[in-house]
Amino acid sequence: MLDQVAKTSRSLLKSAGRTRAELAGVGIGLPGPVEHSTGRPVLPPIMPGWDNYDVPGHVMAALGGPVLVDNDVNIMALGEHATMYPHIEQMLFVKVATGIGAGIISGGRLHRGAQGTAGDLGHVAALHGGDTRCTCGNLGCLEAVASGPAIVRALRERGVDLQDSSDLIRLAKAGDLAAATAIRDAGREIGHVLATCVSLLNPSVIVVGGRLAQSAESLLAGIREVVYGRSLPLATGDLQIVASRTAGHAGVIGAATMVVQHVLSVEQVEHQLAAAAAG
């Protein structure tokens, strides 16, 4: 996979008329927990075999550095914030796809937490999670009952003929009642978790991303129903709960933003100045 990433990157450089020497850096998002200081994934539930793999080292050997790696939802939060909400100090970006996660913008900056796992909503216990087993090994996680695959599974149990999330999105766009109901129920489950987040973080904006949010207004309806109903009026008076506006490009924009922030950080600028003076 990473060799293919490097191959595609070299092709993009060539088509842009650029060389590897002109590459400021590489930003990568992974769909699982990442130790940001090292760029290594940590026991990612849906990435078997990747635990503690040196992703930055592998890519750096092929393209040069720096190579920065983070959880995919974190960089989506960066991208959405930089593009659509640069003046918002408190924002929550929630991705609903194969998994569920959140990127937290606090004080205008991405908040990763002590070990880089802040915002891991998918493995919070869901209100109606019951004994449904999650990919992490626990029972009743939000991801196990409200992610795309979980909604597909619930509809299959009701006799709806569909194979994957693409079929689910197709049904939602066609106005299928069973699909809309299942998606709205998932939104309510997500809403119960987000209501707690609103009480703790008091965001101005909650952005919901992922293919499902772009295709099914019923997901947002379910989330809004619970968040506005369960949270205090002071926290929700000006709270916006909206779909992502970056047309699926939040991750790419966020990866670039992550590299730009690193390259232009005080430490890196001082390092470059010192190196130039020494040379």
User: Comparing 278 with 216, which gets the higher pLDDT?
Assistant: 278
pLDDT band for position 255 (cuts 50, 70, 90): very high
Share of the chain above pLDDT 90, in %: 75
Q: Per-residue pLDDT averaged across 75-86, rounded?
A: 96
Read off the tokens for 250. 């939040």
Quick check: 98 pLDDT over 90?
no
Average pLDDT of the segment spanning 145-165? 92
3-state secondary structure the chain: CHHHHHHHHHHHHHHCCCCHHHCCCEEEEECCCEECCCCEECCCCCCCCCCCCCHHHHHHHHHCCCEEEEEHHHHHHHHHHHHHCCCCCCEEEEEECCCEEEEEEECCEEECCCCCCCCCHHHCECCCCCCCECCCCCECEHHHHHCHHHHHHHHHHCCCCCCCHHHHHHHHHCCCHHHHHHHHHHHHHHHHHHHHHHHHHCCCEEEEECHHHHHCHHHHHHHHHHHHHHCCHHHHCCCEEEECCCCCCHHHHHHHHHHHHHHCCHHHHHHHHHHHHHC
Please give the pLDDT value at position 132: 92
Among the ranges given (39-43, 185-189, 193-197), the one the predictor scored with the smallest mean pLDDT? 39-43
- The residues, any chain, with a CB within 8 Å of residue 22's CB and separated by 6 or more, are 13
* pLDDT higher than threshold 90 for residue 59: yes
User: What is the predicted pLDDT for the residue at 65?
Assistant: 80
| Residue-level pLDDT at 227 | 97
- Between 169 and 207, the higher pLDDT residue: 207
Tell me the average pLDDT across 161-174: 89
Q: Which of 12-21, 35-44, 213-222, 249-258 has the lowest mean pLDDT?
A: 213-222
Lowest pLDDT segment from 81-85, 104-108, 123-127, 133-137:
133-137
pLDDT tens digits for 198-209?
A: 999 999 999 999
173 pLDDT tier (thresholds 50, 70, 90): confident
Which architecture, in CATH terms, is 2-73+250-278? Answer: 2-Layer Sandwich (3.30)
Assess whether pLDDT exceeds 80 at residue 215: no
Is 128:122 a contact under the CB 8 Å cutoff?
no
| Mean pLDDT, residues 24-36 taken together | 92
User: What's the pLDDT at 149?
Assistant: 93
pLDDT band with cut points at 50, 70 and 90 for residue 116: confident
* Residues 86-243, CATH architecture: 2-Layer Sandwich (3.30)
User: Residues of CATH 3.30.420.40 domain(s) within the chain?
Assistant: 2-73+250-278, 86-243
Average pLDDT over residues 204-233: 90
Predicted local distance difference test score (pLDDT) of residue 187: 96
Residues of the chain above pLDDT 70, percent = 99
Query: Residue 110 and residue 22: Cα distance in Å, rounded?
Result: 27
